[in-house]
Amino acid sequence: MPLTVAELMEKMPGAFIPEKAQGVDAVIQFKFTGSEAGEWNATIKDGKVDVARGEHPSPRMTLTADSSDYVKIFTGELDGMQAFMQGKIKLAGDLNLAMKLMQMFKIR
Quote the mean pLDDT of the chain.
93
Which pLDDT does position 1 carry in this prediction? 62
What is the per-residue DSSP string for 42-80? Answer: EEEETTEEEEEES--SS-SEEEEEEHHHHHHHHTTSS-H
Domain annotation for the chain: domains and CATH numbers: 5-102 (3.30.1050.10)
Residues 15 and 7: beta-carbon distance below 8 Å: no
The pTM for the full model equals: 0.92
* 99/95 Cα distance (integer angstroms): 7
| Per-residue pLDDT reduced to its tens digit, 63-92 | 999 999 999 988 889 998 899 999 999 999
Share of residues in the chain with pLDDT > 90 (%):
78
Give the 3-state DSSP-derived string for 1-24, with helices as H, strands as E and coil as C.
CCCCHHHHHHHHHHHECHHHHCCC
Residues 105 and 17: beta-carbon distance below 8 Å: yes
